Amino acid sequence: MTTLNLQISIEKINYSRIKEQDINNSSFGKVFSDRMLVADYRDGNWQEVKIVPYGNIPMAPSLSVLHYGQTVFEGLKAYRSPTGKPLLFRPEANYKRINESAFRLCMPPIPEDIFLDGLKELIRLDSDWIPTQSGSVLYIRPIYFATDESVGLKPANSYKFIIISCPVGAYYSEPVKLIVTDKYIRAAEGGTGAAKCAGNYGGSLLADKEAKQLGYDNVLWLDGKEKKYIEECGTMNVAFVIND
Residues with a catalytic annotation lie at: 196
Q: DSSP assignment of 6-66, as one string?
A: EEEEEPPPS---GGGS-GGGPPTTT---SEEEEEEEETTEEEEEEEEES------TTBHHH
Is residue 158 within 8 Å of residue 41, measured between CB atoms? yes
Contact partners, residue 22, CB within 8 Å, separation at least 6: none
Strands 218-222 and 178-181: parallel
Distance CA 42, CA 64 (A): 14
Identify any residues that bridge with 6 across adjacent strands, giving them in sequence order: 3
Angle at alpha carbon of residue 27, lines to 121 and 221, rounded to 5°: 95
What's the CA gap between 117 and 115, in Å, rounded?
A: 6
Closest alpha carbon to 141 in 18, 22, 36: 36
Distance CA 228, CA 211 (A): 19
